[in-house]
A and B are shown apart, each in its own frame.
Chain A
């Protein structure tokens, strides 16, 4: 089109004036419809077999294998299993059926470890207290700004309560003794697993956040210290950290009174997992747009205010899956403390069965029992994280 022609066109349009209808109405195309074929399951199945014979064959093979396995499990776990606490019956069923009686016989040792038998109600109460607090804390109502102080207060109370129940005295002070004293070395089973995992999660998370902030900081000395710490700790296996915490640490500080072995191990796990947490958090920090920082600066928010109110809320939302991964790993890693003579769930199972020749043979059943407990906690944790994620990312 020549420029002259274009000018004429424009002139023609102009002369029509602003009110003239330039566009005409076009009927919308109807939305496409999905054609639903009224196929029964059987017809679909037949079609699948005829069109994909090899796939069908494989499916049948796998289904048969699965069925076989299921039947074996059912046979062993239910049909031929012994449910009553009857050692002779278990002996007869050996090789054919499970002996669930072992759990009935030993569950108190497995769940509460070496805790004195008469005082085991205290372990149980401590666990119920902790689990109740956890269940309550999942509700978002308890975290609204007005309720938050009460929730945190309740947590402080339950930590003190937990310690009082387990040790027998308030704050561990002998003149505030309520029940017979139980040394931390005798704490075991589920309460130990809970205190080690929850304690190190609660301590490692803030520490990991600080390490991540340090590693992304512009201050070279702080950055180097954080990098050094993270790389050093990540390069060491947890078992060696635990050995150091329980055996080396008292050797290094012979003159001072060394803290309790439980505290040392708890700190060991905390220091260890903080390094992992830090790297997860750093990933989240890097995912937050640089503009957020600049906007905060332009609004005169200081460094900590910026992190607290702008950067971290966004970063932590991004990393919920990674953090929960970490939490689950910590929860299961607590089983390693057995090697330093703390008998948490896994350790106390060994304790319960190894020493008793009559029941020693039924370890598999015992392991399945504690596996179910571990699974319950880990699965619950992942469900909570998914709820949290859905709630926070729906904006």
Chain B
């Protein structure tokens, strides 16, 4: 699918500090509709902070961030308007352990979009089928494997019909053999044209689905390039060092 022209996420000179620590430095980034932007970088480089700003889980002190036409401000209305269109998947899944899989999926659509239980369950089963897990609908999260839990988390976010999906290291807490089942779901999602902003260390995944790959270090965007350029002929020394560290056995 060809990325549309509509800009869904736009960072303009965004700066963020935690106390004295400068977490994000002059971030400028545009994500168009249908684009898959992968962010990588060493830990503590600000990549999670960056994507958590998009749905206002983190605030920032300077600059401007426009998501789906709404300028993000400390204003509850704007934040809710943005969160309505932005789904998020977390490293630790963050499923609600006291609810069944189905209840996890139907809670928010019922409470925030006014869907009836039947409508919400209808959507939920469609999304569960998409992540190949509909037979687990009545189990509790603790009865599922890590990979299954993360797929439920993806389905839960999709039930809200988001325009943008944020992934914050979705496979980092998984056993190696479960990584692929989650990546497969994400690849499916990408092929359906979902706009994705994804923090990951899965370079194979980045190579195959990314529209652009970004390297972050110390709160700065070091390099931003199409995957072929990024992996085969990176421009920055920092990127070269990062990639060679990844390839070291």
Q: Which residue of A lies closest to B76 (CB)?
A: A302
Number of B interface residues at 8 Å Cβ cutoff, please give it. 27
Contact A395 B83 (CB under 8 A): no
> Given A291-B92, A395-B140, A395-B142, is A299 in contact with B108 using a C-beta cutoff of 8 Å?
yes
Contact A314 B97 (CB under 8 A): yes
Cβ-neighbour of B88 out of A289, A298, A313 (below 8 A): A298
> Given A295-B96, A310-B96, is A300 in contact with B112 using a C-beta cutoff of 8 Å?
yes
Q: B75-89: which have CB < 8 Å to A?
A: 80, 83-84, 86-88
What chain A residues lie within 8 Å of B84 (beta carbons)? 300
Q: Which residue of A lies closest to B110 (CB)?
A: A309
What chain A residues lie within 8 Å of B108 (beta carbons)? 296, 299-301
Q: Which residue of B lies closest to A314 (CB)?
A: B98
What chain B residues lie within 8 Å of A291 (beta carbons)? 90, 92, 94
Cβ-neighbour of B90 out of A294, A300, A314 (below 8 A): A294
Main secondary structure of the interface of B (DSSP, over half): mixed
Contact B97 A395 (CB under 8 A): yes
Contact B111 A309 (CB under 8 A): yes
> Given A309-B111, A395-B142, is A300 in contact with B96 using a C-beta cutoff of 8 Å?
no
What chain B residues lie within 8 Å of A289 (beta carbons)? 92, 94
Contact A298 B87 (CB under 8 A): yes
What chain B residues lie within 8 Å of A310 (beta carbons)? 96, 107
Q: A281-313: which have CB < 8 Å to B?
A: 289, 291-292, 294-302, 305, 309-310, 313
Contact A305 B111 (CB under 8 A): yes
What chain A residues lie within 8 Å of B56 (beta carbons)? 297
- Check B118 for interface membership: any CB of A closer than 8 A: no
Number of A interface residues at 8 Å Cβ cutoff, please give it. 19
- Check A317 for interface membership: any CB of B closer than 8 A: yes
Assembly CA distance A302 to B77 (angstroms): 11
Assembly CA distance A302 to B83 (angstroms): 11
- Check B55 for interface membership: any CB of A closer than 8 A: yes
What chain A residues lie within 8 Å of B151 (beta carbons)? none
What chain A residues lie within 8 Å of B83 (beta carbons)? 297-300
Assembly CA distance A11 to B244 (angstroms): 24
What chain A residues lie within 8 Å of B92 (beta carbons)? 289, 291
Q: A309-326: which have CB < 8 Å to B?
A: 309-310, 313-314, 317
Cβ-neighbour of A298 out of B57, B97, B107, B142 (below 8 A): B57
Contact A299 B140 (CB under 8 A): no
Main secondary structure of the interface of A (DSSP, over half): helix
- Check B156 for interface membership: any CB of A closer than 8 A: yes
Cβ-neighbour of A297 out of B57, B97, B111, B142 (below 8 A): B57
Q: A250-303: which have CB < 8 Å to B?
A: 289, 291-292, 294-302
Assembly CA distance A292 to B96 (angstroms): 7
**Closest CB in chain B relative to A318 CB, distance in Å:** 11
> Given A291-B90, A395-B140, A395-B142, is A301 in contact with B112 using a C-beta cutoff of 8 Å?
yes
Q: B100-150: which have CB < 8 Å to A?
A: 107-108, 111-112, 140, 142
Assembly CA distance A289 to B91 (angstroms): 13
Contact B111 A298 (CB under 8 A): no
**Closest CB in chain A relative to B171 CB, distance in Å:** 16
What chain A residues lie within 8 Å of B98 (beta carbons)? 313-314, 317, 395
What chain B residues lie within 8 Å of A313 (beta carbons)? 98
Assembly CA distance A305 to B112 (angstroms): 9
- Check B27 for interface membership: any CB of A closer than 8 A: no
- Check B157 for interface membership: any CB of A closer than 8 A: yes
Q: Which residue of B lies closest to A298 (CB)?
A: B88
Cβ-neighbour of B94 out of A295, A309, A314, A317 (below 8 A): A295
- Check B160 for interface membership: any CB of A closer than 8 A: yes
Assembly CA distance A309 to B142 (angstroms): 18
**Closest CB in chain A relative to B83 CB, distance in Å:** 4
What chain B residues lie within 8 Å of A317 (beta carbons)? 98
Q: A373-395: which have CB < 8 Å to B?
A: 395
**Closest CB in chain A relative to B160 CB, distance in Å:** 6
Assembly CA distance A292 to B157 (angstroms): 14
**Closest CB in chain B relative to A290 CB, distance in Å:** 9
What chain B residues lie within 8 Å of A297 (beta carbons)? 55-57, 83
**Closest CB in chain A relative to B76 CB, distance in Å:** 8
Assembly CA distance A25 to B142 (angstroms): 33
Assembly CA distance A395 to B97 (angstroms): 8
Contact B94 A292 (CB under 8 A): yes
What chain B residues lie within 8 Å of A305 (beta carbons)? 111-112
What chain A residues lie within 8 Å of B166 (beta carbons)? 298
Assembly CA distance A189 to B98 (angstroms): 41
What chain A residues lie within 8 Å of B96 (beta carbons)? 292, 295, 310, 314
**Closest CB in chain A relative to B20 CB, distance in Å:** 22
Given contacts A298-B55, A301-B112, 6 further A-B contacts (CB under 8 A): A294-B88, A298-B87, A299-B107, A300-B83, A300-B160, A314-B97
Return 22 A-B CB contacts under 8 Å, by A number: A289-B92, A291-B92, A295-B90, A295-B95, A295-B96, A296-B108, A297-B56, A298-B55, A298-B88, A298-B157, A299-B112, A301-B107, A301-B112, A302-B80, A302-B112, A305-B111, A309-B107, A309-B111, A310-B96, A313-B98, A314-B97, A395-B142
Top 9 A-B pairs, shortest CB-CB distance: A299-B108, A295-B94, A298-B88, A291-B94, A300-B83, A395-B140, A300-B112, A313-B98, A305-B111
